[in-house]
């Protein structure tokens, strides 16, 4: 089977491409490299000994998409391409709605014109807003997002669901990721954020390597076991394998399906600092700062549905996630050098 992976040069995409190749799929990556480097795919090829066909292209570019679809035959699309920086989305809402929403609408339109109606979409736990209950099951009502990025995910879920409802030839799987962290065991692939990291783990690894002098913890007065925010961190390789499992479901003509991809465990910011220090023998100096606007106290998944229906459960624990994130940062102080 031949799979189109949009955004496949990015953090989660590249790890997924690797797992797809190792499972025996042929992979074609489409990415505009706005937040990634082609070096990630070279590393995938080195680790797998297999070839990745790569198109530098934008999902907004209808002509280019038509050209690629006329040349290539695909059985399914895994759609990662999108902008994902929460803070930036507040500053540049139009750019986020255009890139993520107009981009996905263009992609989906080209897909249907070429009779490709199988899609796996990167959604996020952010669609639950401040969740009505934890652990969050897929039945938990969607909530108010606190930023345009989150709304793009929530709206695209609706768009894809409506398209599937109207045309039963579509198979649509919405995967709601919790907090992906960590890196490939080889230490040659990982997360490579631009500028000052927004997310906790890349910030911690940059403190560990001496690029930043301390971590600021955003608030210690939440209603959690130690006052700091609780999240469900998931190893990026586990997440990648979740996509391979979702493809099996697509093959069953599943219609519309929604799955949380999380571990079911919640860790606070202080738990992460402690686990990172213990796993790696490195000290992470930190200060307590004010809450970050839009943050919620607690968010963790019920991962039961993915277990029952996809036969998928996360295998890696928090110490692996911390050790692998550090191994990648240590070996690649400047990421892919983009």
Task: Tell me which residues are annotated as active site.
Answer: 149
Closest CA to 314 of 231, 205, 200, 232: 232
User: Would you mind telling me the total number of residues written for the chain in this entry?
Assistant: 338
Which CB atom, from 186 or from 198, has the smaller least distance to ligand NAD? 198
DSSP 290-318: PPPTT--SEE-B--HHHHHHH-------H
d(Cα 28, Cα 75) in Å, to the nearest integer? 11
* Contact status: 183 vs ligand NAD (CB under 6 A): no
Pick one of 62, 211, 212, 292: the residue that binds ligand UDP (CB under 6 A): 292
DSSP 163-179: HHHH-TT-EEEEEEE-E
Binding mask 150-189 toward ligand UDP (x if CB under 6 A, else -) reads -----------------------------x----------
* Contact status: 217 vs ligand UDP (CB under 6 A): yes
d(Cα 97, Cα 100) in Å, to the nearest integer? 5
How far from chain centre, in Å, is Cα 40?
A: 15
CB of residue 303 to ligand UDP, shortest distance in Å:
17
CB of residue 161 to ligand UDP, shortest distance in Å:
23
Size of the site for ligand UDP (CB under 6 A): 14
Burial of 190 (0-12, 13-18, 19+ CB in 10 A): buried
Q: Which long-range contacts (CB under 8 A, 24 or more apart) does 93-102 make?
A: 93/148, 96/148, 96/149, 96/152, 97/148, 97/151, 97/152, 98/60, 99/60, 100/149, 100/152, 100/153, 100/156, 101/152, 101/155, 101/156, 101/159, 102/60
Pick one of 43, 184, 231, 245: the residue that binds ligand UDP (CB under 6 A): 231
Q: Which stretch binds ligand NAD (CB under 6 A): 75-83, 260-268, 269-277, 298-306?
A: 75-83
**Residue 332 DSSP SS3:** coil
* Contact status: 150 vs ligand NAD (CB under 6 A): no
> Residue 231 binds what, of ligand NAD, ligand UDP, none (CB under 5 to 8 Å, by partner type)?
ligand UDP
Which CB atom, from 21 or from 125, has the smaller least distance to ligand UDP? 125
Pick one of 4, 12, 17, 110: the residue that binds ligand NAD (CB under 6 A): 12
Pick one of 269, 279, 310, 325: the residue that binds ligand UDP (CB under 6 A): 269
Binding mask 51-70 toward ligand NAD (x if CB under 6 A, else -) reads -------xxx----------
The dihedrals phi and psi of 220, each to the nearest 5 degrees, come to: -130, 25
Residues in region 84-103 near ligand NAD by CB under 6 A:
84, 99, 103
The dihedrals phi and psi of 28, each to the nearest 5 degrees, come to: -120, 125
Pick one of 26, 45, 75, 295: the residue that binds ligand UDP (CB under 6 A): 295
Closest CA to 58 of 38, 81, 32, 40: 32
Pick one of 203, 259, 267, 336: the residue that binds ligand UDP (CB under 6 A): 203
CB of residue 183 to ligand UDP, shortest distance in Å:
15
List residues binding ligand UDP (CB under 6 A).
179, 198-200, 203, 215-218, 229, 231, 269, 292, 295
List residues binding ligand NAD (CB under 6 A).
6-7, 9-13, 31-36, 58-60, 80-84, 99, 103, 122, 124, 177, 180
């Amino acid at each position: 089977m031949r799979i189109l992976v949009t955004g496949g040069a990015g953090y989660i995409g590249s790890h997924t491409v690797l797992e797809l190749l190792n499972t025996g799929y042929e992979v074609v990556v489409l990415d505009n490299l706005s937040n990634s480097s082609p070096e990630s795919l070279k590393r995938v090829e080195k680790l797998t000994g297999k070839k990745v066909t790569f198109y530098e292209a934008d999902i907004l570019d209808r002509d280019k998409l038509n050209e690629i679809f006329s040349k290539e035959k695909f059985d399914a699309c895994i759609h990662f391409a999108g902008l994902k920086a929460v803070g930036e989305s507040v500053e540049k809402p139009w750019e986020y709605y255009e890139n993520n929403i107009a981009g996905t609408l263009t992609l989906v339109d080209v897909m249907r014109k070429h009779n490709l109606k199988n899609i796996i979409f990167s959604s996020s736990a952010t669609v639950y807003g401040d969740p009505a209950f934890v652990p969050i099951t897929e039945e938990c009502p969607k909530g108010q997002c606190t930023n345009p990025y989150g709304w793009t995910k929530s709206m695209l879920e609706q768009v894809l669901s409506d398209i599937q409802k109207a045309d039963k030839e579509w198979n649509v799987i919405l995967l709601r990721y919790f907090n992906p962290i960590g890196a490939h065991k080889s230490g040659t692939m990982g997360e490579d954020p631009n500028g000052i990291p927004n997310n906790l783990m890349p910030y911690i690894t940059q403190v560990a390597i001496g690029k930043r002098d301390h971590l600021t913890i955003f608030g210690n007065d939440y209603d959690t076991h130690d006052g700091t925010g609780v999240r469900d961190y998931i190893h990026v390789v586990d997440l990648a394998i979740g996509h391979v499992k979702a493809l099996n479901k697509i093959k069953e003509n599943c219609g519309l399906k929604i799955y949380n991809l999380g571990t079911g465990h919640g860790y606070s910011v202080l738990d992460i600092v402690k686990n990172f220090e213990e796993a790696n023998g490195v000290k992470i100096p930190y200060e307590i700062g004010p809450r970050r606007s839009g943050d919620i106290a607690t968010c963790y998944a019920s991962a039961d549905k993915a277990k029952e229906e996809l036969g998928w459960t996360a295998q890696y624990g928090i110490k692996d996630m911390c050790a692998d994130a550090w191994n990648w940062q240590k070996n690649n102080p400047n990421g892919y050098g983009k």
